[in-house]
């Protein structure tokens, strides 16, 4: 296997797209050729870190996320017109009830615990 053929197959090798025979031949070549091995490691580092590649635009990221969600069957949560205000209203009422309960407990007349009342009588 020539170095030129190996260079063309390195990306497919990295992603496991080569067949069994070409993969074995490429692995054998990489064991004996330091230059091709260095090229493979540089390619691997570049693919895995992508630090030297430009980042995708926010629009492209959102399209990709939408495509993946569609592929997985995950749709964006759909809110009916009344659900969102109802959720905020419910949260507000829960906070108000908690505040009123704490106020009632804090301002109630102090009484000793039940166990202490029975001991002192």
d(CA 117, CA 67): 68
Of 97 and 14, more confident:
97
Residue 27 lies in a domain: yes
Most confident of 34-38, 59-63, 74-78: 34-38
The CATH number covering residue 48 comes to 1.10.10
**Residue-by-residue DSSP string for 27-94:** HHHHHH-HHHHHHHHHHHHHHHH-TTSPPPPHHHHHHHHHHHHHHHT-PPPPPPTTHHHHHHHHHHHH
Q: pLDDT per residue over 39-74, tens digit each?
A: 988 888 887 777 656 777 888 888 888 888 887 777
Which residues span the domain enclosing 29? 3-53
Q: Structural domain tally of the chain?
A: 1
């Amino acid at each position: 296997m020539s170095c030129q053929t190996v260079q063309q197959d390195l990306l497919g090798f990295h992603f496991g797209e080569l067949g069994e025979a070409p993969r074995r031949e490429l692995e054998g070549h990489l064991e004996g050729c330091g230059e091709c091995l260095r090229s493979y490691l540089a390619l691997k580092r570049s693919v895995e870190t992508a630090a030297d590649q430009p980042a995708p635009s926010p629009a492209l990221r959102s399209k990709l996320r939408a495509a993946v969600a569609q592929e997985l069957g995950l749709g964006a949560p759909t809110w009916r017109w009344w659900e969102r205000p109802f959720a905020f209203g419910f949260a507000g009422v829960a906070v108000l009830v908690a505040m009123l309960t704490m106020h009632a407990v804090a301002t109630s007349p102090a009484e000793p615990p039940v166990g202490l009342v029975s001991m002192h009588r």
